[in-house]
């Protein structure tokens, strides 16, 4: 449980199922949204970043319509989500949905699963489709940098801005803190929970079980990040279409897909068995209204 000293500075305010921790001065301290933001802060961050992306794209000679919060949230919700497929089924069939659902086509032209496309908005997709092939390449390089799958919505959902590039990175640098741009960033709420002795024990337990299963990971957060790095290295930042891959590259992609399915399944299993019960208990103790004094 949080010590008495910390309790003097924290109040838990519940808004339905969403709550945030604030100081007695009324300023947000630890939010429960991505990157430790409150719901209100997240909306403001999205609006600021999207406006900056739009301005940056204009400077590059392209039109980009700043996506509203609803569109970005749609992109965030699309991550690991296919209609009619449960979370368990998704993990079993597609792992994290990275190499397993990879096509290498620009997200704007995706016909199936694409969280990046979902977070761009209809108008931006139409703008892209009206460009020439060469301009499409330049457009996405300006928008995403070297990794065309690293949209702002996906970066928010995964709490990983380190893969961002182009105008997306330029915009996030002006809104987010430097430490939030690193792949090692840990949101404040999770950082607090990770310090609990029970969670430290759970981390050690998870690491042992993963090694028994043949995977060298110390924390669940490392797994998806590792797959993203491997895929980016194999596909030149998700810019190499599957249809243009050489036989050796196709073989390497298939091998990565098989690995992703296996490691994601084990990761999901151990998170449910080891992490979730401990985290739920800690959150219940820390953020329960009965602990507010």
Alpha-carbon span 228 to 176, nearest angstrom: 22
Instruction: Annotate 238-293 with three-state secondary structure.
Output: CCCCHHHCCHHHHHHHHHHHHHHHHHHHHHHHHHHHHHHHHHHHHHHHHHCHHHCC
Q: Give pLDDT tens digits for 148-183.
A: 888 999 999 989 898 899 999 999 999 999 999 888
DSSP H or E stretch at residue 18: strand 18-22
**pLDDT, mean over the chain:** 87
Residue scoring higher pLDDT (8 or 236): 236
254-270 per-position pLDDT tens digit: 999 999 999 999 999 99
How far apart, in Å, are the Cα atoms of 210 and each of 206, 262, 263, 266, 274? 6, 11, 9, 7, 11
pLDDT digits (tens, 9 = 90+) for 174-208: 999 999 988 888 888 788 888 999 999 999 999 99
């Amino acid at each position: 449980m949080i010590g008495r000293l910390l309790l003097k500075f924290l109040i838990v305010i519940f808004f339905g199922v969403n709550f945030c921790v604030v100081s007695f001065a009324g300023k947000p301290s630890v939010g429960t949204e991505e990157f430790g933001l409150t719901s209100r802060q997240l909306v403001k961050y999205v609006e600021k970043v999207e406006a900056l992306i739009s301005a940056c794209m204009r400077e590059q000679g392209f039109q980009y319509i700043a996506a509203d919060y609803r569109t970005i949230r749609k992109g965030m919700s699309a991550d690991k989500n296919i209609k009619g497929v449960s979370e368990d089924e998704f993990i079993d069939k597609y792992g994290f949905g990275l190499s397993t659902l990879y096509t290498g086509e620009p997200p704007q032209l995706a016909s199936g699963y694409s969280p990046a496309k979902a977070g761009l908005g209809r108008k931006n997709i139409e703008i892209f489709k009206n460009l020439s092939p060469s301009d499409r390449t330049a457009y996405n390089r300006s928008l995403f940098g070297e990794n065309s799958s690293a949209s702002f919505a996906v970066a928010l959902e995964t709490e990983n801005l380190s893969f961002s590039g182009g105008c997306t990175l330029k915009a996030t640098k002006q809104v987010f803190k430097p430490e939030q741009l690193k792949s090692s960033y840990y949101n404040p709420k999770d950082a607090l929970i990770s310090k609990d002795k029970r969670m430290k024990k759970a981390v050690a337990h998870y690491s042992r079980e993963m090694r028994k299963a043949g995977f060298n990971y110390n924390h669940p957060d490392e797994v998806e990040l590792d797959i993203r790095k491997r895929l980016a290295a194999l596909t030149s930042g998700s810019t190499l279409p599957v249809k243009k891959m050489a036989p050796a590259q196709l073989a390497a992609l298939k091998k990565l897909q098989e690995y992703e399915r296996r490691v994601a399944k084990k990761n999901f299993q151990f998170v449910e068995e080891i992490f979730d019960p401990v985290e739920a208990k800690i959150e219940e103790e820390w953020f329960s209204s009965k602990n507010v004094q």
